[in-house]
Amino acid sequence: MGGHRRDQSDSHVPLRPSGDFSCASNDGFELQVSNVRPSMSSLSGAEDGGGDAGGGEQHRRAHTNNNHSNTLMRQNGDVVRIEVGDCDDTQPHPHDLSSISARAAREGARCAKSDAVKTLAAFFCLMVSAFLNFFLLTIIHDIAPTQPLPDLTFKLIPQQRWAWSLGDVLSTVNSIVAFTCIAMHQHRWVVLRRLFLLGAILYGLRACVMGVTFLPPSFDNRDQICQPQVNRTTMYATEIATRFVTYVVTLGLTSGQDKILCGDLMFSGHTVVLTLMYFVQLQYTPRGLWWLRYLAAPITFCGIAALVVSGGHYTMDVFVAYWLTSHVFWSYHQIFEMRKAERAAAPLSRLWWFWLCYWFEAEVPEGRLANRWSWPFPGPAIAHKLMDRVNHKLE
């Protein structure tokens, strides 16, 4: 019998490699301990330096091959391998478990702080883009022409005012489901941060388009739906401030108002929200929730159709919004799921938002995130056990 092999255990449980450390895990730092019961020749060679030559040689290999991440310890007659990911330049003493635990706590705290800072920064970017849209609308309402443009959908289907409320309801339902999936995701902060960044990019583009081209409202009965325009020759700062606060409080949902501001048409913000939430469900739900993806598709496209049927948007508004959202969403995920060393040289790195998002993805592991769910709160313990069972069924 030769010495005990480093890649096998007598309990027939394979030993997992430590892997590279990243801040995406909610557990922060992972300490992997594998119990290995070696053969007698291996133990004798390890303890006394004697026995057969194979045991002594393999013992020397165990301490010289990658000794910074693999350590053998003797405990209760067993040899315990402790594998620690390579996170920084300071290495704890091989036999000091308290030092390893302290290092794990420091890394976990650092990752939690980094996640919080980056998520808040992404949310700030989203708020800037959204508030810029609201502010522009308060001014464009009084500038946009009043005669609607011809549209094929309006010629085929009479405008239905009730469909606008349906679009708001379906958008809200899609958002609730998507945010629930994010809250239950193992890498919830990474997914939430990505959603904020994508929303900031798309609403920033929307603000640029709205600010340079003014389209007339698409309603046939504009005077019954849109608020009256204010004479621009007089100072009306109070009117603009009132409009702005109203849209901030309602988050742009206007289905409950008697008359609304008109002119924010190209491109459809409701379609951006519907499409983003749909793609989040496609990308970040476990494989076992395939039925949720099929349920999200009709909700999304019925909501988009309702926006046009209601007369709230031209057909081109929703087409352009869906096209831009799909391209930005999938381009973002394609480039930031590449190997980090290859990202800067990839053709997609020429996109204007690449370097804006590069810092946010610096500590996210390469490749696609594992779609596993975890309970977002420390307790109760039964919830964590239940989530483990759910994960087992959804894989």
Annotated catalytic sites, by residue? 270, 313, 317
Angstrom distances, CA of residue 389 to CA of 286, 288, 325: 13, 13, 35
DSSP state of 82: E
**Rounded Cα distance, 82 and 59, in Å:** 15
Angstrom distances, CA of residue 74 to CA of 13, 79, 81, 83, 205: 19, 5, 9, 15, 61
For the purposes of burial, counting CB atoms within 10 Å of the CB of 117, is it exposed (0-12), middle (13-18) or buried (19 or more)?
exposed
Residues with Cβ within 8 Å of 138's Cβ and at least 6 positions away in sequence, in order, are 239, 240, 243, 244, 247, 261
Q: How far is CA 377 from the centre of its chain?
A: 19
Helices (H), the chain: 40-48, 53-64, 97-140, 152-156, 162-184, 188-212, 222-225, 237-250, 269-284, 290-309, 315-336, 340-343, 354-358, 381-394
